[in-house]
Structure 1
Amino acid sequence: MTTVRGKFISLEGGEGAGKSTLLAGLRECIEGHGIELVLTREPGGTGIGEAVRSIVLDPLHHGLAAETELLLMFASRSQLVREVIEPALRAGRWVLCDRYVDASYAYQGGGRGQPVERIAELERWACDGVQPELTLLLDLPVAVGRARAAGRGDADRIEVEADAFFERVRASYRERAAAEPGRFRVIDASQTPAAVLLAATRALTPLFGEAPR
């Protein structure tokens, strides 16, 4: 019997958008439909990826060049695609990823000023055509998100950036969502966690109709 390919969902958003809370709710929802789910994150998700994460987010590495950061993100992503995401999808499992390629367009592109064409070329090379069926973008004003994130403990290398950086990140995310309305669902993350989860689960409904039971 041929295995039905799994579904790939990515979750995007700026600092303090509530991704961690939503991930827990989405996991319960998806597994409640009897679907085997792989939950992963970027950068990270593999042994190599987690090592890259420690480099990229360590505040001591403040001298990391924007080009180096971009390449490290795609090195981690390439490993994640080949070691985790693609094998899971082939086996019929769903994958829910905390950030994926759109994060590089937003953070390294919008935030750091890396050319979109450069990021797109890296995507073609590193991701082997693996793209989410659905991307949930948690959107909220930068000031609100940063206020939320301030209570989480010590800031990492990216979280210490100025508001202007995160305004560019948000703008880039919103531009990508507007350019690909068929893949993106933009969710107002200033709502209550329950309202955010409801909006997200409604966005998943078309995928459940195609899922094996």
Structure 2
Amino acid sequence: MIAHVDADAFFADLHAWQHGHNLVLDIYQITKQFPHEEQFGLTNQLRRAAVSITSNIAEGFRRQGPKEKAQFYRTALGSLTEVQNQLLIAKDVKYIDQASFQDIAYRSVRVAKLLNGLIKKAKTVSVIPHTFMLCHIDADAFFASVLQRKHPKLRGKPLLALGMGGGCVIAASYEAKAKGVKTGMRLVDARKLCRGAVEMPSDFEETAVASRQISSMLEEQCPVMQLLAVIT
């Protein structure tokens, strides 16, 4: 079975890659404090192993076959284990303190869990299950919720997310819905029902980012996912 990869999908949308990338940046920052004598020793080994984590996640993401995907994700997990071992050595030789070690070790465990999820997903896709559970996920009041996430001061307030032209409400926050505002309602009618509501143009770019983030989280947990429609 060939695993489908959306041509518009991007490996950096994966939570495993995002957390792994932050780990790489932390490794580079921490190793700046290592003695110069470790430049071609522990410093180089840690950095190479860390970069290998996200590089293999990226390559595995673009592979079509589930077995190939799992292979690259397992390689990334192996590189992560190298990093964990080398960090332990760095702590024991006093290159990093206990607090710094515990912080980065905790985050490395988070990456390991996400990688195990990707491996499990790849393995599951390789075998067509006899039975499966169908799950329908709906992001309610999506455009309005995205605006409230981007602008925290709007949280808890009635908000009308407007479409192009501004004459139609394409999403209403729960506070506005409680007043009777519905998706697709004319703005003039929504104003009568929900006086004083905040009116704001929808942020389509930010909404697309949020949509990819949701898809990424689901893809890491669900063996097979099919986007059927986008409904506001």
TM-score normalised by the chain length of structure 2 = 0.30
**Which structure has greater strand proportion?**
1
Of structures 1 and 2, the one scoring higher in RCO (CA 8 A, sep 6+) is 1
**Larger-Rg structure:** 2
TM-score, length-normalised on structure 1?
0.32
